[in-house]
Amino acid sequence: MIQFKRSADLRLWLDGKQDKGEKIGFVPTMGALHEGHIRVIETCRSHVDRTVCSIFVNPVQFNDPKDFENYPVSLEKDIEMLVNAGTDVLFLPSVPEIYPGGDKGLETYDLGDLETMLEGRYRPGHFQGVCQVMSRLLTIVKPDHLFMGQKDYQQCLVILRLIGILQMPVHFHTVPTVREADGLAQSSRNRRLNPDQRKNAVAISQTLRFIGEKLHPGELETIRKQALDKLDKAHFKTDYIEIAQASDLRPILTWNGRDKAIALIAAFQGAVRLIDNMMLN
């Protein structure tokens, strides 16, 4: 695996490959890698000639400075996992490499309602930060294919919109969520859970499955209340539980029995904020 810290060096290498007609796939990450990330890398590898992974903990997408400071870092282990997964290139840029002009004067993007609903509502500015880093990374890597995880479903919709705004010829792929044996979605944040919190955390995926089992045409508020109650019982402090249109995340209050629906949860177990989602039909 070749490592690059500077975008100019990465670009030179990629030009050599793209000139020969090789297809480039890109997997952006913030490091602290786990099996979920590796599944995204493997999916990427099965579609393209060269797989580029980036590790960059993007300061501008953290609305909570504590969350940024506490974000886990495990670079040596990450590199080992990426090598074992057959990654061709690791891009490890510094903050000035990504934001040469600092955090002033960064572009803002018209994300419509996606910006202020669900994650956007509880993490103001988060998706602008995600778009700012992704716009820069996509401009540097110019991938033919981009791979991201369904675990961050709203982020996938935001990035699809960004690709439209930037008019980039990149194919977007969503990779299904990888879970622990008990159903907890794999996440870098899971390693901050203490043993009790880790046990409680399973309630998120159980609640999502419960919503799927109870889903029926008609009014859904009762299901939502029962779901909230399940999270309360597992000592979660819930930011949101939503049943929404999978296409654009508009809330579904009364389901017509046909529209593709998704349930999404964000909740705190102690100081650790976890998110997850499941397609319901």
Q: Tell whether residue 177 is a contact of ligand AMP (CB under 6 A).
A: yes
Catalytic-residue membership of 235: no
Contacts of 76 (CB under 8 A, 6+ apart): none
Q: Are 22 and 16 a contacting pair, CB within 8 Å? A: no
Secondary structure letter of residue 259 according to DSSP: S
| Single-letter residue type at 119 | E
Binding characters for ligand AMP, 220-259, by CB under 6 A (x = yes): ----------------------------------------
Q: How far apart are CA 224 and CA 238, in angstroms?
A: 12
Q: Tell whether residue 273 is a contact of ligand AMP (CB under 6 A).
A: no
Q: How far is the CB of 270 from ligand AMP (least distance, A)?
A: 19
Q: Tell whether residue 175 is a contact of ligand AMP (CB under 6 A).
A: yes
Which of residues 185, 223, 263, 280 is near ligand AMP by CB under 6 A? 185
Region near ligand AMP per CB under 6 A, out of 71-79, 88-96, 177-185, 244-252 = 177-185
Please pick, among 37, 126, 173, 216, the residue that the annotation labels catalytic.
37
Q: How far apart are CA 230 and CA 224, in angstroms?
A: 10
4-63: which residues touch ligand AMP (CB under 6 A)? 29-30, 36-37, 39-40
Q: Are 68 and 57 a contacting pair, CB within 8 Å? A: yes
Q: How far apart are CA 96 and CA 99, in angstroms?
A: 5
Positive or negative: CA dihedral 63, 65, 71, 75: positive
150-169: which residues touch ligand AMP (CB under 6 A)? 151-152
Positive or negative: CA dihedral 72, 230, 205, 133: negative
Region near ligand AMP per CB under 6 A, out of 138-146, 184-192, 233-241, 261-269 = 184-192
Binding site for ligand AMP (CB under 6 A): 29-30, 36-37, 39-40, 148-149, 151-152, 175, 177-178, 185-188
